[in-house]
Structure 1
Amino acid sequence: MIRMMLTAAGALALLGCTATGSGEGEATAASAAPAPMATNYAAILADPKRPDADRARDAARMPARLIDFAEVAPGESVGDFVMGGGYVTRILAGVVGPAGHVYAFQPQEFIAFKAQYGTDQQAVAAAYDNVDAVAGPFAAPAFPVPLDTIITVQNFHDLYLKPFPADTGAKASAALFAALKPGGTLVVVDHSAADGSGTTLSDSLHRIDKAAVVDALTKAGFVLDAENDLYANPDDPRTANVFDAAIRGKTDQFALRFKKPG
């Protein structure tokens, strides 16, 4: 998701529904299925604090369907793991409302690579009374309170970029498990890689095999609760880099919901 993050810069010498952080630069293939409207998404999406760039992504990123799939409710404490420019964070702030809270995490490695990530994080936190900025190591997000839900969009593959230690994915999966309350929910959206490819294409194509995500998170203690095809695109051969102009905005993506037992 972070475009050629650190690969182009040399190892640490380092968007629909943020590369450019939390899938934000990569739009998604639209789905025809209507979104359930238990929450007043029209009012949330009309929030004047949302930038025009966010509004332009709404049709492809289908935030109502994503948040309903995540089962986020008013009053909850929610984490946005790798918030990027804040697309998901802003919507979550409206969904959880004044009785809830959003903890927008930005990895310190991303901020060190590109200062704009830190600037965007602070700007979003300043704009919403119920949003706090959280920074820390990518493999050890230090959310300050137990969370009801964590959402991460187009970021999980980044845990397996070559510049990061080989155990980054396992450590982050364990940290996300620890950050949730018993019975809490983790939703992962990411670009599909070819079946059987594991994490081997995370760096070169910015894709990950769905089975590798399930494996990493079940090893951390999660239980796969549901899948959703809202970002599915069977026409994507899953062989191109997600930033390739021929496929950008049209990648096949999976959406998985995990539960922490208890």
Structure 2
Amino acid sequence: MSRLFAAAAASLLLAGSAAAQTPPPLTFPEPVQTLPGGTDYAAVLASPIRTDEDRARDAARMTEQTLRFTGVQPGWKVGDMIMGGGYFTRAFSAAVGPGGHVTAWQPAEFIAFQASYGEAADAADGLANVDVIRSPIGAPEFPRGLDLVFTAQNYHDLHLAPFATDTAAKVNAAVFEALRPGGWYVVIDHHAVDGSELLAADSLHRIDRSAVVREVEAAGFELRSEAAALWNDEDPRTANVFDESIRGRTSQFMIAFQKPE
């Protein structure tokens, strides 16, 4: 009954909020940071590490703009949080190069849920500068000293009904410990309607941006930048992200947090 009540409450809140959405600023003039030398992002996208299927998705996922936003550089140590099919794992592998390293996290519960997640993890383990961790959802075993932890379209999964209510807090704390002082935590996810908080996480696979900011800041991070590259005015933010009416075209927020120096 409690699940039914929560679903009904979510539906009412989403319906009531859908008509009054405020888009974020349309542009941010600078990436998260600028370092000497920089990264050849065109070469990253063309890398043989990536697949033809990856490149076919680059326009919709704004991959070059996303990588620029993270500030990723050759030699960096990156954590790819909830790697899914490995799309960004391969992009970061190409971006950091042989002098860098990517630790991709595929939670054990995801592997148990769907065989393809295990297959993606095994494939990523075959890349020279990537290793995959398969620890449980509430306990990512990232190494210390990371320059960047990145997650795309999966932060809301920390609030899925099967998982403990403190999962997000535990994960954010683990990310904080894993990052070097001054390191970056970049979160991309599907917009829920403003004010919906966590109500859409399980039902629609979306999350309210303000809820993410509040949770991540509570772990000790400082909000530094965000970009509107993945904003979509045509998304009412009330449909499940897998619904064919909006799948692949959802409005998404892109936020960068920093661990204090």
State the TM-score bracket (shorter-chain normalisation): 0.7 to 0.9
Superposed displacement of residue 174, structure 1: 1.1
User: What's 1:250 paired with?
Assistant: 249
- Residues 84-135 of structure 1 deviation map (CA, whole Å, 9 limit, x = unaligned): 1111011111111111100011001101112221221111220x21111111
Say if 2:228 and 2:253, in contact at 8 Å, map to a contact too: yes
Alpha-carbon distance in 2 for matches of 1:49, 1:67: 16
Q: Which amino acid aligns with 1:229?
A: A
Alignment map for 1:1-262 (pairs within 5 Å): 38-126=38-126, 128-262=127-261
Alpha-carbon distance in 2 for matches of 1:244, 1:115: 22
User: What's 2:13 paired with?
Assistant: none
The structure carrying a bigger helix percent of its residues is 2
Say if 1:80 and 1:150, in contact at 8 Å, map to a contact too: yes
Alpha-carbon distance in 1 for matches of 2:253, 2:48: 30
- Residues 212-239 of structure 1 deviation map (CA, whole Å, 9 limit, x = unaligned): 0000001111110001001001221111
Alpha-carbon distance in 2 for matches of 1:46, 1:54: 10
Q: Which amino acid aligns with 1:82?
A: I
Superposed displacement of residue 257, structure 1: 0.2
Superposed displacement of residue 38, structure 1: 4.5
Q: Which entry has the higher C-alpha Rg, 1 or 2?
A: 2
Gaps of 5+ in 1: 1-6, 8-30
Alpha-carbon distance in 1 for matches of 2:172, 2:260: 15
Count matched residues.
232
- Residues 54-97 of structure 1 deviation map (CA, whole Å, 9 limit, x = unaligned): 11101111211111111111111000001111110111111111
Say if 1:139 and 1:175, in contact at 8 Å, map to a contact too: no
Say if 2:192 and 2:238, in contact at 8 Å, map to a contact too: yes
Gaps of 5+ in 2: 4-25, 32-36
Q: Which amino acid aligns with 2:241?
A: V
Superposed displacement of residue 194, structure 1: 0.8
Say if 2:184 and 2:258, in contact at 8 Å, map to a contact too: yes
Say if 2:232 and 2:250, in contact at 8 Å, map to a contact too: yes
Alpha-carbon distance in 2 for matches of 1:49, 1:214: 33
Taking only aligned residues, the RMSD between alpha carbons, in angstroms, comes to 2.2
Say if 2:152 and 2:187, in contact at 8 Å, map to a contact too: yes
